[in-house]
A and B are shown apart, each in its own frame.
Chain A
Amino acid sequence: MHPENKNETVILNPLRKVGLADKLLWATLLGLLLLGIGVWIRQYVLGLGITGLNRPVYWGVYLTNFVFFIGLAHSGTFISAILRLAGQGWRKPLTRAAEAITLFSLPFGVASILVDMGRPDRILNLIWFGRYESPILWDVTAVGLYLLSSIVFFYFSLIPDIALCRDRLTQAPGWQRRMYTILALGWRGTPQQYHRLERVLDGMAIFMTMLVVTVHTVVSWLFGMTLQPGWHTALIGPFFLLGAILSGTAAVVIVLAILRKVYRFQHVLPVSLFNSLRKLLITFLLGWLYFMIAEHLTIGYGNMKEEMVVLQDKFSGNYALIFWSMAVLVFGVPLLIFLIKGKDSIGWMVLACVLINIGMWMERYIVIVPTQISPRLLSVSGQGIYLPTMTEALITVACFAGFTLLYAVFTRYFPIVPVWETAESLPVGHEAEPALQTGSATAD
């Protein structure tokens, strides 16, 4: 038994044929990913000295990427877990697209840490000798758990649709059909099965919500737990979390717009979805401004010598250009776009969201680097400079290419819009939550 969804054909359409354009895109992305892996191997052989890292800037672009990708990952969990608990039915068509961002960006967050390590060959020391006094172990635990539960959460909600693919895509190549059969785990779509699935997903949503708060907070504590000026503030955790949800949600808008255009999902992903996301994004932007002011006003008003060195570097020193353009990119321009042009206009929304994500990457960078540039004792002798090299640039490109590759391939083999969750009706006996109808109504 399968749910009735009038958009089923449209949603399954991208799965029917992998075209030449896809293969070209995949080959390009794979090439960039492999190039990055090659550069990493070179870095491992020669030493981290081929990066721009130095003393005192021990952490640079790799850590920025780590924080950024983990932040991007917060999109999916926010949309599917938090909005699920809040009973926001409109989220349904975009849940999977958002969760896929989570799933595919997390590995590159983890990879960024591996790339940053001087001795990645000793990674297992974290297990043999790991000690919980170190924030790094908090991160390993939280991110590991997050990755694991994201996979489970994602997979569970995918099962009914895999079963649908198994039964509908009979023209697909043999291996593909076998894959669906195995992954569907014998799903039959009985009302009891749907009931059980919903209960599991609800339960997991609570757990995931707690995890999402924890993960990005402990990511920030890599910095916040040290005594360094600019980092050692209690606000750093919540600030990182909000930034993560902001950049993640903005990423959802970009991804949705691409899917809508490329796979002709105009009816499946209506403009109303973008309008709902717009309201969320405006809220997050204002929250971001609030944190920004709270943090910098506290430091500036306090006027403590060491803190002021970092603050002035950002406001009017070497990092002023990055700092202020970040503020314009993350906050200024996007807010104006959302308020004036964003409503009903996907193009403007995408522009704003691209700016937000560029700006959020810069924001991570501007948190990480300036604090290290002016260490307390070395401010006279070793005023640091940090310029990333080609190695760091290529590995960063590879991370983004790898993320896009996984995403692009996934959308050609699995329905990126959940068919069962957006269905008009599920098999009889299943008590659909009221929001279900709202969700599909907006699809008209």
Chain B
Amino acid sequence: MPRWGMVIDLDKCFACQSCTVACRMENNTPVAGPDQAGKGRAILWNEVLPFIEGEYPRLVATMIPRPCMHCDYPPCTKVCPVRATYKNEEGIVVVDYNRCIGCRMCTVACPYGVRYFNWFPPEWPEELKQHLNPDPEVAPRPKGVVEKCSFCIQRLHKARQKADAEGRAFMATDYIPACVQTCTGHARYFGDLDDPTSLVHQLAHSPRAFRLLEELGTEPKVYYLKQG
């Protein structure tokens, strides 16, 4: 059983946010609009967070793209009262939109802020509506439930089906999330962290590797490679 993980090389990332856009198109996240986004209600499963230290001209800016960390010990799944969110056997933290009661305890418990609540029914400008991903697995979520990055789990399911149809064994390299596929700077790597021959395994063990808020003991499966 693979243990899916991601590595993001901050030296290669130039914060173009194409991952954010690719994620939106793949996963049908609604468009909040400037008014709601100003209120902090934009839904961006993959958000590029700016960390700015110091003041101009002595300023150090680090841009960190932040998908869900898919923690090995996720603080969010623990607190879900109805098991609407859980870590599946391959380590991906998913949400069952048909079961979520909208209590938002997971959003409060996640230290990475990766969980988003549907404050209103989902909406898109007319032009975007025609380009929604038709995959039923990413059908727009109703108002009142929580959603988040799923490592594009629908792509995993499709890759498995494809391998089956072609009569061959599924390989970890058959599947990558949309953000990894689209990354302009080739900064993102994805694969099976448990496979010692995989690139993600090797990069995750590089001396440059670190994880966000490691001290919390959540064991994220998203690694970063330090810049500079």
Is B one of A's binding partners? Answer: yes
Closest to A128 in B: B82
Interface pair A49/B99, CB less than 8 Å apart: no
Q: Per-position contact with B for A193-226: 1 when CB-CB < 8 Å, else 0?
A: 0000000000000000000000000000010011
A375→B117 CA distance, assembly (Å): 16
Complex interface: chain B residues within 8 A of A55 (CB): 40-41, 107, 113, 116-117
Interface pair A56/B51, CB less than 8 Å apart: no
Complex interface: chain A residues within 8 A of B146 (CB): 118
Smallest beta-carbon distance B143→chain A, Å: 4
Interface pair A377/B40, CB less than 8 Å apart: no
Interface pair B75/A118, CB less than 8 Å apart: no
Query: Could you say which of B36, B79, B100 contacts A136, with CB atoms under 8 Å apart?
Result: B79
B158 at the interface (CB under 8 A from A): no
Given A58-B108, A372-B108, are A118 and B118 also a contact pair (CB < 8 Å)? yes
Within 8 A of B (CB), among A125-157: 125-126, 128-131, 133-137, 140
B212 at the interface (CB under 8 A from A): yes
Complex interface: chain B residues within 8 A of A140 (CB): 81
A26 at the interface (CB under 8 A from B): no
Interface pair A131/B82, CB less than 8 Å apart: yes
Within 8 A of B (CB), among A85-119: 113, 116-119
Query: Could you say which of A46, A119, A384 contacts B102, with CB atoms under 8 Å apart?
Result: A119
B2 at the interface (CB under 8 A from A): no
A133→B73 CA distance, assembly (Å): 13
Smallest beta-carbon distance A111→chain B, Å: 15
Interface pair B78/A49, CB less than 8 Å apart: no
Complex interface: chain B residues within 8 A of A131 (CB): 80-83
Interface pair A134/B40, CB less than 8 Å apart: no
Interface size on B, as a range, is 35 or more
Complex interface: chain B residues within 8 A of A375 (CB): 111, 113
Interface pair B144/A48, CB less than 8 Å apart: yes
Complex interface: chain B residues within 8 A of A377 (CB): 49, 66, 111-113, 212-213
Complex interface: chain A residues within 8 A of B49 (CB): 377-378, 380-381
A47 at the interface (CB under 8 A from B): yes
Within 8 A of A (CB), among B88-111: 99-105, 107-109, 111
A262 at the interface (CB under 8 A from B): no
A116→B83 CA distance, assembly (Å): 19
Complex interface: chain A residues within 8 A of B145 (CB): 118-119
Smallest beta-carbon distance A226→chain B, Å: 4
B169 at the interface (CB under 8 A from A): no
Query: Could you say which of A123, A129, A225 contacts B99, with CB atoms under 8 Å apart?
Result: A129
Complex interface: chain B residues within 8 A of A116 (CB): 103-104
Interface pair B102/A56, CB less than 8 Å apart: no
A222→B104 CA distance, assembly (Å): 11
A69→B219 CA distance, assembly (Å): 38
Complex interface: chain A residues within 8 A of B119 (CB): 47-49, 53-54
Interface pair A59/B108, CB less than 8 Å apart: yes
B1 at the interface (CB under 8 A from A): no
Given A59-B104, A136-B105, A375-B113, are A47 and B81 also a contact pair (CB < 8 Å)? no
Query: Could you say which of B40, B104, B105, B213 contacts A376, with CB atoms under 8 Å apart?
Result: B213
Interface pair B81/A137, CB less than 8 Å apart: yes
Given A56-B40, A375-B111, are A117 and B102 also a contact pair (CB < 8 Å)? yes
Closest to A118 in B: B102
Interface pair B103/A118, CB less than 8 Å apart: yes
Query: Could you say which of A126, A225, A385 contacts B81, with CB atoms under 8 Å apart?
Result: A126
A228 at the interface (CB under 8 A from B): yes
Q: Per-position contact with A for B186-228: 1 when CB-CB < 8 Å, else 0?
A: 0000000000000000000000000011001000000000000
Complex interface: chain A residues within 8 A of B75 (CB): 226-227
A382 at the interface (CB under 8 A from B): yes
Complex interface: chain B residues within 8 A of A17 (CB): none
Interface pair B107/A58, CB less than 8 Å apart: yes
Complex interface: chain B residues within 8 A of A135 (CB): 79, 105
Interface pair A123/B101, CB less than 8 Å apart: yes
Within 8 A of B (CB), among A212-265: 222, 225-228
B134 at the interface (CB under 8 A from A): no
A375→B99 CA distance, assembly (Å): 27
A118→B83 CA distance, assembly (Å): 16
Given contacts A46-B120, A48-B117, A222-B105, 4 further A-B contacts (CB under 8 A): A55-B107, A125-B99, A125-B101, A382-B40
A-side residues, CB < 8 A to B, are 46-49, 53-59, 113, 116-120, 122-123, 125-126, 128-131, 133-137, 140, 222, 225-228, 372, 375-378, 380-382, 384-385
30 A-B pairs in the complex with CB atoms less than 8 angstroms apart: A47-B119, A48-B117, A54-B40, A55-B40, A57-B40, A113-B103, A116-B103, A117-B101, A117-B102, A117-B103, A118-B102, A118-B143, A118-B145, A118-B146, A119-B100, A119-B102, A120-B101, A122-B99, A129-B99, A130-B82, A131-B82, A133-B78, A134-B78, A135-B105, A136-B105, A226-B109, A227-B109, A228-B111, A375-B111, A377-B213
- Which 7 A-B pairs give the minimum distances between C-beta atoms? A118-B102, A118-B144, A49-B119, A136-B81, A47-B120, A134-B81, A129-B82
